[in-house]
Amino acid sequence: MKTIGLDAEVVVSKFEESLNSNLSVKELVMELAYGKANDVASHYNEGIVIGADTIVVIDGKKIGKPQNHNEAFETLKLLSGRTHEVISGIVLINCKTKEIIKDCEITKVTFKELNDKEIQQYINLGEPFGKAGSYGIQGPALAFVEKIEGCYPNIMGLPVNNLLKNLKKMNVDFLEQDAWKAKNN
């Protein structure tokens, strides 16, 4: 958020995530993002709360954050040499007006063929844990990527252009933020 000039406070939600659902993946990520945003918004009377959630999908299988080393290894092995989707739900809640916008973004990521040693070394870095799909593209896993189709920031869990589009719908212009205003000295 700071990189694009938006002044934001990070507030951790107490909402409990679960991938066990009969919803489509798009609906699920938006519902998880809504759960997080709604939990935080319930503590504020004004401002806009942004919630996001990301799931990796391959062969119709939802892949969240790995629970252990073996799960991380199996996930990375599954993604090796193949294309998967990174689907992020994003929800904005205006705490004053109670307006809610739900949206999602899909990015396709193709990994190169990974050998067991590469996967093991990556896991030994501790990188897969806490990340949907067992990788974070903003770190060493960038070396695994052959091709990206769509929004790069979405792979990190925040589809920036989608966020800005929906902030504009709530009459928030990111170009009016202090970071974007010229300094007259």
In the block, tokens 């929906």 appear at 166
- Catalytic annotation, residues: 53
Q: Which amino acid is at 152?
A: Y
- For residue 133, which of 109, 150, 116, 114 has the smallest C-alpha distance? 109
- For residue 79, which of 12, 39, 134, 38 has the smallest C-alpha distance? 134
Measure Cα distances from 164 to 10, 126, 140 in Å. Answer: 17, 32, 28
DSSP assignment of 32-59 equals: HHHHHHHHHHTT-SSSEEEEEEEEEEET
How are the residues of the chain apportioned to helix, strand and coil, as percentages rounded to the nearest 5?
35, 25, 40
Q: How far apart are CA 170 and CA 37, in angstroms?
A: 15
